[in-house]
Structure 1
Amino acid sequence: MSKFNKKKNAEVPAVNTASLPDIVFMLLFFFMVATVMRDDELQIENQLPKANQVEKLAEKKKVVTIYIGKPSPNFTKQYGVTEVIQLGDKISPLSDVQTYVNTKRNAMDEDDKDEMMVSLKVDQNSQVGILTDVKQELRDALALKISYTSIEGDPLRNLKN
């Protein structure tokens, strides 16, 4: 007689799914913590100038961002090669700056409206003319607090040789 008997009708045991909800919630929590929400998708070239006295803005919810620069290579057929203004996720004409700023201001809390600041992210190779036009539109929209965004570095490197 043999020591071990073979079971002829051996069935595969069912998979234990008791820990499956724990694993799903752990993955969900991980992705919620690790995911970074992007603000705007840039459609322009935006190489920021360097500065040696840089301050970080305190509260991002009070900041309205306007980008100025040449369209990126994917958008040159559509917008050409001259400087354009990007408001949010789309390239817009100069006349839309006031509407954009006022819309953003109206969406803010009542306490934050007076402290709203416009951050201009201007490509270092852009012409001053379009920047001056944008600043005039901001004056007309009564958005008088303006900051220029730059990266930390040696400002002498901004000069072209």
Structure 2
Amino acid sequence: MSKFKKKKGGGLPPINTAALPDIVFMLLFFFMVATEMREDTLKIKNAMPVADQVEKLDKKNPVSFIYMGTPKDEFQKNFGTEARIQLNDKFADVSEVIAFIGAERAALREELVPFLTVSLKVDKKSNMGIVGDVKQELRKANALKINYATGTGDATSNMK
């Protein structure tokens, strides 16, 4: 009989997980740096009027933007020179505003829905008729918190 016995079925050694937190944080920082927040691509001319008494919107409340103005030069061939509505990244008709507000509300958490503000970014050369039509549709959608976006400056420069 031998003094030394051979180990049977030694198995695999345990996996070293010491570097795992480093790898996780490295991936986290990579995605934080590489991720780009989505912005709307404007397809309309949007030179907003200026005002001297301006307040910023609350960052904690959700805001949906509706852009109005004449299409940019590259889009005038397809959409004409009349003032148009842009919802997110596409041109829309006045009748699509209610569906847009419904989709924006559906994307929010339930407790934030009453705080949804609709910000109208209207070109200063736009006709007020389109703004009135959009406001009527917003009333039908029960979106009553409306904000008019402006730039800061002397309000008398809007007359030029």
TM over 0.5: yes
Give the corresponding residue for 2:102.
Answer: 102
Q: What number of residue pairs does the alignment pair up?
A: 137
Give the superposition deviation at 1:30: 7.1
Give the superposition deviation at 1:73: 0.5
CA distance in 1, matches of 2:118, 2:154: 24
Instruction: Tell me if structure 1 keeps the 8 A contact 2:61–2:115.
Output: no
Structure 2: which 5+ residue stretches go unaligned?
1-22
The one-letter code matched in structure 1 to 2:104 is: K
Give the corresponding residue for 1:143.
Answer: 143
Task: After superposition, give the CA deviation of every residue in 1:64-122 in whole Å (9 maximum; x if it has no partner).
Answer: 10000000011000100000000000001111000001110111111110111100000
Kindly indicate whether residue 143 of structure 2 is the aligned counterpart of residue 155 of structure 1.
Answer: no
CA distance in 1, matches of 2:124, 2:60: 23
Give the corresponding residue for 1:10.
Answer: none
1:116–1:75 Cα change, 3 Å: same
CA distance in 1, matches of 2:60, 2:149: 13
TM-score of the aligned structures, taking structure 2 as reference length? 0.78
Instruction: Tell me if structure 1 keeps the 8 A contact 2:122–2:149.
Output: yes
Query: Alignment identity in percent?
Result: 49
Which sits farther off after the overlay, 58-67 or 133-142? 58-67
How do 1:19-98 residues align onto structure 2 when only pairs under 5 Å count?
29=29, 32-33=32-33, 36-59=36-59, 62-98=62-98
How well do the aligned residues superpose, as a CA RMSD in angstroms? 2.1
Structure 1: which 5+ residue stretches go unaligned?
1-21
